[in-house]
Structure 1
């Protein structure tokens, strides 16, 4: 049997997930967003952390609760684990329903992000475009949400995002064509989400919105964490100053409840 973990139980899970190197995990364990599940509320041996589509597993995979947790999934799942035993269990339990691919981690070192250099990137905004910090008007603009459903999806509401989140958008004639926001938040920073409308790519817009968001975070003493979903994201991160750390296995699980 599995149990949902409150904030007090989540604190017990920190050592179990310490090798994950994920700020999204921290956002859950620190109580900001997401859910956590365990096999035992007093002395957990295996645990699951879920924030949106991201699901993380840690602890002892050789338990019946571990397999139970592997069926405790959102409608769309990207599962991440920290050892080969867990990988083999995922491949066994969801045989024929998984696709393994690579995501990309970066060093989380604020000193790697050169403020002067990043400020210079902001000067390249093409004519006709306007860079703005996301406010109530932008966050209620349909074109903003059409860029990415994940811009504010981990927050409880639009008001919650405006209160706890942060982001910047590039507009043309009042329509959002690029955005960079806090996908998730944790005590010391955010995880960045960036998206550009297909009709406006190759113009440096993602670089500019991400730069604005990074500078805003650094000015407030919080860290803008970057985790790459593809090679394009890796290249953009490196352009901004992030130092590549490693690639890691991620499982898309196509599980029909």
Structure 2
């Protein structure tokens, strides 16, 4: 397989859009050159990955070229002790990945949730709490969505501030809860939410999520939500925000130890 030049990313995007029904948001983030990444392709298959080591494979699973590329890429990432997470589009690919990597990776099932909303939802903050758009100052004081987080998923804080968005609930200038765009592409904004432990169960994740969704409506972007099938609290919050389970898929990641 050949590494695709950035000038040809738009062609790959068109092909994937027509062929794949369950394509992660980060794939479009790369193809639209919103975040750094790499694209390998031939006339049968694609392998697309972020700089942080999250990959998506698609196309003909019988293609030996892409299978060999997966093995070699995994080997290089493992030798340098770097992250390797591979998103699979379907069960056929699940079987191939397990075969070519000889069960060297853990398999985890995940849900992709989606929603179709047309009207903003209202919310009310308790007294003393404020809602702010995520900025450099909030990032510098956040315990979860901090500088390292945005460097991993966006390449830099400045790139996120330029192309991404999110909201934080604060109390006395302390970040209580946040909802940010972990990835943005293909007219979709994938949500990532975190609430400080001492403030959980008080509705702040819902407020941050609604603020994010409302902003998506203004931007003409569709919010999306992915989580592990065993993450009941995440699924519950997603459904409360109006999401419905649309697809079940697998990811493969490095085994611990």
Shorter-chain TM-score tier: 0.7 to 0.9
Q: Deviations over 1:65-90 (max 9, x none)?
A: 22233242562333222233321221
Residue 240 of structure 1, CA deviation: 0.9
Distance 1:176 1:104, change over 3 A: same
Q: Which runs of 5+ in 2 are unaligned?
A: none
Distance 1:79 1:187, change over 3 A: closer
Distance in 1 separating the partners of 2:209 and 2:22? 24
Residue 56 of structure 1, CA deviation: 0.8
Contact 2:177 2:204 in 1 (8 A): yes
TM-score, normalising length from structure 2? 0.82
Distance in 2 separating the partners of 1:108 and 1:36? 29
Distance in 1 separating the partners of 2:98 and 2:155? 33
Contact 1:5 1:38 in 2 (8 A): no
Distance in 1 separating the partners of 2:253 and 2:8? 30
Residue 197 of structure 1, CA deviation: 1.9
The equivalent residue for 1:106 is 113
Contact 1:178 1:196 in 2 (8 A): yes
Contact 2:150 2:160 in 1 (8 A): no
TM-score, normalising length from structure 1? 0.82
How many residues align structurally?
Answer: 245
Q: Which moved more, 1:72-81 or 1:232-241?
A: 72-81
Q: Which moved more, 1:213-222 or 1:27-36?
A: 27-36
Q: Which moved more, 1:72-81 or 1:171-180?
A: 72-81
RMSD over aligned CA atoms reads 2.7
The equivalent residue for 1:213 is 212
Q: Which runs of 5+ in 1 are unaligned?
A: none
Contact 1:39 1:45 in 2 (8 A): yes
The equivalent residue for 2:135 is 135
Q: Do structure 1's residue 173 and structure 2's residue 172 form an aligned pair? A: yes
